[in-house]
Amino acid sequence: MRWPKLSSNPIARRRAKARAAAGAFILAAASAAAVFGQQEKAAVPIVLGRKQASRLLLSQVKPDYPPLARVNYIQGRVRMEVTVKRDGHVGDAHVVRGHPFLAASAIKAIRRWVYRPFMTAAGPAPFETDVDVNFALRVTRADRLPPNPELDVMREVRPPQLVAPPPCSPGPAADEVRLRVLVDEDGKVMDLTPLGGRPAQVEAAEKEVESWKFRPARWGNLMVPWYVDVAVPMNGSADPPPPPKSLEPR
């Protein structure tokens, strides 16, 4: 099974915004002072290709292969969008696509990566790049693998649940923002992906959800990382938000 590309919604196209800002940065590069002023004003990372960014890597922590992924024959690629700060440390790691067992492990590792600062005429600058993390099982005979291991696991997982509905302000909700949340095995929010709503409201909705308390997903008696969809009422709501929806096969 191929997990859906989580950041395909127009309001989640962070790379598009970064590319537009990068174009403005290049036009201003004729003057070092202009470059520096543009960079500081926009505060948007430059977009680097994977090969160019990989040459800047100084410390690359290898993700652990989750034991539950091994026993359930889960393997594949996790695509990450990584934002690196001026000092070379990772400021943000966002899942573009990948199985939640593998994505949680990839995020934990990549957040500890260290890059050599990306230098411009005005000095070190933040940058953004894509990273692929591959998880592959060592098997002697591929025909012995189950045909749809990800679907098999999905059927057995009880998705995360809100411990209690978040407080709501009185008055009707003008809008809502839908988010896909990666909840870790401790019930904490690891990552957020916008799915729908007004772009101007996404940041406030993400900050709201980061404070929510979740009961983690379960596979049998074990707590596991998993995706869940939530709707966040904006501008107050007289009713609690609808219950989270688990990620369905597509």
In this predicted structure, what is the pLDDT of residue 89?
97
Strands across the sheet containing 76-84: 46-47, 127-135, 76-84, 90-97
In this predicted structure, what is the pLDDT of residue 14?
52
What domain count does the chain have?
A: 2
CATH code of 60's domain: 3.30.2420.10
Residue 234 lies in a domain: yes
Interatomic CA distance for residues 46 and 104, integer angstroms = 26
CATH code of 200's domain: 3.30.2420
Residue 99 lies in a domain: yes
In this predicted structure, what is the pLDDT of residue 25?
44
In a shared domain, residues 116 and 166: no
In a shared domain, residues 168 and 234: yes
Digits of tens for pLDDT over the chain (250 positions)? 555 555 444 334 454 454 444 444 444 444 444 444 444 444 588 999 999 999 999 999 999 999 999 999 999 999 999 999 999 999 999 999 999 999 999 999 999 999 999 999 989 999 999 999 999 998 767 777 888 999 999 999 999 999 976 665 555 556 899 999 999 999 999 999 999 999 999 999 999 999 899 999 999 999 999 999 999 988 644 344 555 555 444 3
Residue 152 lies in a domain: no
* Cα–Cα nearest to 108, from 62, 69, 67: 62
The percent helix, strand, coil of the chain (3-state, each to 5) is 30, 30, 40
In this predicted structure, what is the pLDDT of residue 6?
54
Residue 145 lies in a domain: no
Among residues 98, 120, 135, the one where a domain terminates is 135
Residue 57 lies in a domain: yes
In this predicted structure, what is the pLDDT of residue 33?
44
Domain residues for the domain of 51 are: 10-135
In this predicted structure, what is the pLDDT of residue 126?
96
Interatomic CA distance for residues 182 and 228, integer angstroms = 7
In a shared domain, residues 165 and 68: no
Residue 188 lies in a domain: yes
In a shared domain, residues 90 and 205: no
Q: Give alpha helix (H) positions in 80-127.
A: 100-110
In this predicted structure, what is the pLDDT of residue 31?
44
In this predicted structure, what is the pLDDT of residue 56?
97
Residue 3 lies in a domain: no
Secondary structure (DSSP) of 163-219 = SSPPP--SS--SEEEEEEEEE-TTS-EEEEEEEES-HHHHHHHHHHHHT--EEPEEE
In a shared domain, residues 238 and 163: yes
In a shared domain, residues 72 and 173: no
